[in-house]
Every structure is written in structure tokens, then in C-alpha cells.
Chains A and B, each alone.
Chain A
């Protein structure tokens, strides 16, 4: 150690010298002609005031949509509302920030120090949920630009088989759980990365994004709102909140006459039929099944937590630091020098490998502690979904399913009951 010390000092001095040298290799000129340095134009970002204006537009649009869906009962009006939202939030504001993505800002702020959530992002997250709790999913009906573009292109609705619908409807839950996990570990914003329509709003995007968006829109002509139904993670929250909505859109303006005219018209399979005539299962059996599933919920939760806990190291691969550490480890093991830009940049940066590996440990630890919660959430949602299959309430009217209904108003015109004004 003592022998090496002079060399270490020499190397340190050399590095120090290098840092100094890099700054001013060439002396700054002393102009004799009185030349003045030009100034750089640094254009300022959009003023925060405008962001608050967006929040006002959001609230206004929600109020108008609520009125159109619940009071005025006008499908035409809701379509115009969709056109407005698509034009404003979509093409004018270019899709950022949206309520769907704000889930990630909230989870990033909740679980990380050093990130303060912009107030507008928080408001974009909270306000549609408040409206869902009061009036159902009016946000989906005419305010969300992603929903609007799909609503306007859903021309020839085709019904999916019930089993497919139920299985696919579980995908958003997984998407939400994983997206929150990734955002809260400060890894990446998955929802924004795979936002299908933002490329269309900007008329400019990587081609994969455009292809994904175009395919979804094409599929959406027949299977309406494919993103909302089978992917949208914010839709999961709206679904849960809307189930407890104080008021909700109704198919009929007055009393349901059980005419069955609306039975087949909902492209989202969100109309619960009245079942006065259907044969009911024996109460004893359904009660037993209910109790069984109820007891199974904790088991599902534990299974989900266990599964995701063990998947955590794999999932942590989406984090740049973890990926870099793994690349460096394979590089050491195989002896082949990695050409990955991250590795080259890391070597230039002068950070030590032990620092990197301890940081990697820390991040994997965060994934380990976060993923069981995501797993438990998935398990509980699955269990509650199973329970809901056992409950059959007696109904003598046709009603929208409050969780699934997008308040799009397609069913209005099929109801023959009219109220005289």
C-alpha cells in the first residue's frame, strides 16, 4: 500500500489536471474590434397559468358531460363533447398531461422523496375520480381524449363472447398493478410509453407507436373501445369508483317496461338484463359458493403476493440502473466488452462498480417490498370478481352495469319510454 501511494497521488493529480484542462484548452479571445458576444434565446416553457386553465376546461367538460348524460340524455351532445375533448385535450394539448398517466405521477410522488407532484397532475388524477364517485364514468363518456377517439371510430359494434370479455377485462388490473410498481420504484412510466394514441394526437411518433395505435383503432371499429375495456389502467379505478356512484345514467327516462329493446344494443356488454322470468339457482347453493369464494379471497391475495414477490427481480430489469449492473456483470463474466451505450457512458462517468451494485441491490429491494402489494391487489380483485359471479340479485328492470358503463348514451334511443316535458 505504501509503495503504491505515490502512484495513486500521481494518477489523482493527472485526473485533476485533466478536468482543469478540459475546460479551457484555448484561451478566450480578446476582441480588438469591439465584438460583443451574441446572446442565446432561451424560450420559456408554457406558463403554469395555462396548465390551470386546462384543469378548468377539464372541470367544465366534466360538468357538461354529466349534464348531457344524466339530465339531457343526449347521445348527440355526448358525441359533440367527444369531438371537443379530442380536439382540445388530444390534438391541441397533444395528450399530456392526461388523467390516465397521472396515476404514475401520484405513485411516484407517494413513494419517492425528491419528486414533488405538479398540482395540475394531482388535480387531473382526483377530479375525474370524484365525478365517477358522484355520477359514474362521465369522464370516459366525453372528456378523455383516448376514449373520445375510440368512441368516434367505433362504427360497427360486434359483441365478444362473454368468456373472452371476462378474461380480457382482467388485463387492465394487471397493467395498473405493474404500472404503479414501475412508477413508484422510479423505473419508468409504462402507461405513457405504451400510450397508443398520443402519436396520432401529435401526428408524429416512433412507427411502433403509430402501428399500435392504428391497429387498436382498426380493431375498435368492430370491438368498440378496445383500449378502455381491455387495457386502460385508469379505467380500473373509475370502474371501482363508479360502482358506488351516487347517481348514474339510466337507460330509461322513467320506468322500465321490460320491452327488451335495449337488450342487445350495448357494445360494451354493460346492460344488466332484468331477470324476472329466469330460473334462479337454489339460494342454498349460491350461498355456499359465496361463502367459499369469500374465504378464498385471502388465499388469492397471498398467492398473488407470493407470485409477484418472486417475479420482482425479473421485473426490476426495466430499471435502467439494474439493467446496467446486469450488463456489466455479464461483461465481466464473459470477458467480451459490451458495446451498449449505457456501459460506455458508465465507464466514462467514473463511478465505481461497487456503488452501482449497491444501488442495484437497493432498487431490487424496493421491487421486493412493492411487488407483494401489487400481487395482493390483483388477488383481491380476482377474488371479488369471482364473488360477484355468485351474487344474483332479482331485478325487474334493465340497468347499466355501473362499473362497465361508459355513459356513452347509445342505449337512449332504443328506449321507447318517453317523458313528456
Chain B
């Protein structure tokens, strides 16, 4: 009886050791296999402004409220127009800073007179909720100097960006963390 017990014991030990080795193999193989495909700096999510269709999902689909994606102004592309498609609602009667004339639902764009006939538009990021209405307006009627970007001081860098999952034009992708932004005026 004692001998029999020993026999089972050694068989069980064998199964244990074999199992241990079998499960340990992937732990060695995976890092070796991925050695060349590992990046030390990691990735962040960013919007490609040339693919973006300003659908407005950035505002609603980010895990944060308000969204981490904001409108950014490429000043060097801007025409500094008086009649701004990004600032003013379509078909306004007077060009003024009145709330009823503004396209931005949160009033996040400030309009400042520079010199005749130029006006400068700046985005107040604290208020911007990323609805992209101004981006669409500027792209349709202006130079397209307003564009969407994910701001990395807010973005929590989810493993799967929930805006990217639903982005209809696949404009959001992982980019190396040292690039971080895809500015429209620097390409």
C-alpha cells in the first residue's frame, strides 16, 4: 500500500512539473517574440485632422465629461475674417459677438479685433466641449484652420479609446507618445 501511494505521488509530481514547464514556456516565448515589437515610450491617442469629418462623436463618446478632445486653432492658416464660418451661426443678420449669433453652443470662442479688417478667434479650452461645430463651419466656409485634437493634459489614455471605437472615419489612432499631436499647420 505504501509503495502504491508513492507511485501515485511521483506521478502527481510529474504532472505538476510538466504542467509548470508547459505554462512557463509562453511566459518566456512571448517576451522573446515581442522583443522587437516593444516600444519603450508607449502610445497616445490622437485625431488625424485630415481624416476627421466633424461628426460630433468626440463630444459624446469620450469617457470624460467634458471630452478630452478640444478644438485647436492653427492661427497661421486662419484668414482672420470678419465673417467667420466657425464663429458665426449660418445666416446671421448682424456680425457681432451677440450670443444669438454665435455658432459655439458653449461660447468658447472669443473674437478680438486686431486691425481693419482682421479679427482673431481664440478657443477657450476650459469651456470647449469638443462638439466640433466650429470646425465644420470653418472647414465649410473658411480656410479650415480650426481642427480637433485630443489634449493630453486631460486624456487619461485609455487602453481602448472609446471615441476611436465609434469614430466613423477612423480618424483616431495610436501615435507614438513623443509625437503626441498632429497639428494641421505643420504638415
Interface residues of A (CB under 8 A from B): 22-29, 31-33, 35, 37-38, 40, 42-46, 48, 51, 94, 96-98, 101-102, 104-106, 109-110, 115-122, 125-126, 129-130, 133, 188-189, 192-193, 198-199, 202, 204-206, 240-241, 243-244, 246, 320, 340-346, 348-349, 393
Contacts and interface: CB of A to CB of B under 8 A. Distances in A.
Contacts of B73: 40
22 contacts: A24-B79, A26-B143, A27-B79, A28-B77, A32-B115, A45-B44, A45-B157, A48-B177, A96-B156, A104-B159, A115-B174, A119-B39, A121-B159, A122-B31, A189-B159, A205-B63, A243-B19, A341-B53, A344-B53, A344-B168, A345-B169, A393-B12
Contacts of B64: 202, 204
Contacts of B31: 122, 126
Contacts, number: 180
A133 B8 CA distance: 23
B23 A240 contact: yes
Q: Which of B16, B31, B63 has the most CB of A within 10 A?
A: B63
B39 A118 contact: yes
Contacts of A202: 63-64, 156
Nearest to A125: B30
A33 B27 contact: no
A267 to B, nearest CB: 27
A23 B160 CA distance: 32
Nearest to B60: A206
A29 B118 contact: yes
B23 A28 contact: no
Nearest to A118: B42
Contacts of B174: 115
A33 B115 contact: yes
B20 interface: yes
B162 interface: yes
A131 to B, nearest CB: 11
A126 B27 contact: yes
A193 B162 CA distance: 8
Task: Give me the 7 closest cross-chain CB pairs, A-B, nearest first.
Answer: A26-B79, A189-B160, A43-B153, A118-B42, A45-B152, A345-B168, A345-B169
A35 B177 contact: no
Nearest to A132: B23
Interface string B11-55: 010001001100110010011011001111111100000010101
Interface of B: 8, 12, 16, 19-20, 23-24, 27, 30-31, 33-34, 37-44, 51, 53, 55, 57, 63-65, 72-81, 114-115, 118, 120, 122, 139, 141-144, 151-153, 155-160, 162, 165, 168-170, 174, 177, 180-181, 183
A120 B42 contact: yes
Contacts of A349: 51, 53, 169
B159 to A, nearest CB: 5
B24 A133 contact: yes
B21 to A, nearest CB: 9
A190 to B, nearest CB: 9
Given A23-B144, A243-B19, A117 B38 contact: yes
A96 B159 contact: yes
Given A24-B143, A28-B79, A320-B170, A94 B38 contact: no
A116 B38 contact: yes
B74 to A, nearest CB: 8
A26 to B, nearest CB: 3
Contacts of B152: 43-46
A383 B183 CA distance: 54
A345 B54 CA distance: 9
A31 B158 contact: no
